[in-house]
Structure 1
Amino acid sequence: MDDGTRSVRLWHIVLTLLAATLTALATAPTAAASALAGLTAEAAIGIDGVDVFATSTSSALQVDGQDGRFPTTPMRHDGDSTRFYARVPVSPGQSVTSVTVRDTQADPPTTVSVDVQAISILQATYDGATLTIAAVTDATKYPLTVDAGGAVGILSSSAPVTFPLSAPPRTITVSSGALRAVAPVTITDGTASTDGTASTAVTAAAPPTATVAAATLSAPRGVATAIDGSGSTNATTFKAVIKNGPQGATLVDDSTSRPSILLPTWAAPTDVLPRVAAALTPTVVTFTATNGTASSTVDVTVNAVGDTVAVSTARSRAGAELQVAGTSTIPGVGPTLAPPTQVVVYARPNLVDDPTGLEQGWVKVGSAAVDATGAFSVRQRPASNVAYVQYLVQTSRGTQVAGALSR
């Protein structure tokens, strides 16, 4: 009986120890869990590559390579800190929108993927008279616009640009379309006054100079044509206005250094009778650059350039078919335009010399849009029983041509 009691007690002790051991094992952290370290990363486009920053308690990180863009790149570690850095060299002509940072010591592997900031502000300083800004981005995204509670100016490259300002902003925004970056402005010069307020010596701002890439432009009707004033200097704001010219012209982005002019189209599919010949008077735009205290202006002359219409088919068979077909092209401009060129065709039963379209007797045949190859075709089939002998073509780009209809 005593032997049995001792056996029961012995088994009870064994089971108690086993349960305690299992509980300890269940609650103890595993080696893998303890090896997992917090990993954060940021990436921004830099000069000649992408700058990648990371923090981790690991001692070895890398930026995973991307085929055709850049190789796998080890990250530099700053001593006993958690800071890591790598400049990833990007192959010419390639763009990188995201990167992956990998902890090469973690098991299982630890990675984090982040988007690449498309604009990096390299410098934003104010020395008491001028604001100096430098920013880097993909070459296709220049020029960049600098804003500080109002337009400041334009960056055409990664080189620093100075803008004369009497008072500095707290932050500046650099943008290209929907892309933007914000940075604080560092004041690099100034002394404290005796009354406790800041006092900074300010020199007179250099006068602005309005400069345009071309003083005379040729613009197709209905197509926005840029007036490039980004070469203007010492300017913080810009304005473009139409000085004179035919009615109907409008400006787009008229408060930027690159406004665009939109000349009105001419003939339209809704026309019933031919129009009076399109006006050839140029439109004059005045472009002004200012810096708050002074301004500079320059005039730009914009001439409407018409399309070249070549008719290859012109026939009229009473009661059967009437067709006028050909091409419409604009010298130096691709055939695919938005909006496409519209062609309106008229016909008459008797010939007139040097038709203007204002003679009595013109009848609308139809209209068509010029296709991606520059071709058009207006066709009636079956046609009316009238034997038409002459056609007139008018286009939305301001051109008209006339000719004889064959049988």
Structure 2
Amino acid sequence: MTLSGLDGSLTKHVAIIGAGPAGLFAAQHLAEADVRVSLFDQRPSPARKFLMAGLGGLNLTHSEDLEVFLSRYRPAHAQLLKSVRDFPPAALREWSAGLGQPTFEGSSGKVFPESFKASPLLRNWLKRLDQHGVTLHTNTRWHGFDEAGSVLLQKGNEPIEAQAFDAVLLALGGGSWAKLGSDGAWVSTLRNKQIEVNALLPANCGFEIAFSDHFKNRYKGTPLKKVAVSHGERRVVGDAMLDASGIEGGVIYALSADLRDAILATGAAQIEIDLKPDVSADKLASKLKRPRGKQSMSNYLRKATGSPAAAIALMREAGPLPTEADELAVRIKALPLQLTAPRPIDRAISSAGGISFDEIDEHYMLTKLPGVFVAGEMLDWEAPTGGYLLQAVFATGRSAALGMNAFLQD
């Protein structure tokens, strides 16, 4: 069944608010089903956060087993997991290849377009949407709904206008990277409609540490290569980055949800850094039992263990260095650091919190606003970096589009 009139014109017209991956993917599915789509974004060009994510290589998804993949999401809401099952990583890779961007697996299992960039994929994607008649309106801000349910839109500094549509999809993102469009301004608008929205919180973020002034001035911007970071029962191996006020990087992002929640609950969180994850404590202790002679402690540690200056200085931040070899080995293998706060949400890669899944039906429609659908990071879920974020954004955009199409045909 199509939605075209007898004269070939499209009889159903929908609005999609937000031209990030969720909105664009929904627009593609609806336009291919012969629905007339108007796509609105408050920024001068679409998918700015998507492009930013691709600057260091666009990590579209991950190649690991699907059940392991699904375990990365929290909260593990059944509806979110079903959407990813219905549109799994293999399907996203096939879609990318269909836009002239075949993918490859990196050594860690992460999946990237062969171009490694977001811009060629986005260019081809926008071209396809244009061919299907999707109309893109940039510099247009959404201001909610009027009493009749029409969408309130403002182009630049022009007056706000009410426009009626047969259905609306909100794909406005979370609360990170406000300058790219995800400013979280929609939260109060939906709460005013009695829709439960859990507080937006930083996810995949760095954390504050009360470093000494000496350490801040000398070691900000210094990487820690191949370390293991532990919190509770979890241990992650990878790289971190030190800066003047704390620590960030892949190993920290992987633990950030647990660390953030611990800080919210108790006011602080402790991590332990294994500066030499490939060397046992016994082997380190054996090396550290060699005579020190007249060497400074820093030189002695550097030569005996191969530790860089920043790692040795970080060991001192945890307190005076032990003098006994066994205790020094313990410090190297389990360096304790106290985290005092997550970085602000606008410095986070993504955000947690959002619209409760209790507020939507199985088609991603808000039950209190019939005809209004939601997708992407607006919903209350989070995931680590590694391709999980984009996969769920695409999957929920697709599910919402299918739900809208079913609604339009009722």
Q: TM-score range by the shorter chain?
A: under 0.3
So what's the TM-score if we normalise by structure 2? 0.21
So what's the TM-score if we normalise by structure 1? 0.22
- Name which one, 1 or 2, has greater alpha-carbon Rg: 1
Q: Which has the higher strand share?
A: 1
Q: Which has the higher helix share?
A: 2
- More relative contact order in 1 or in 2 (CA 8 Å, sep 6+)? 2
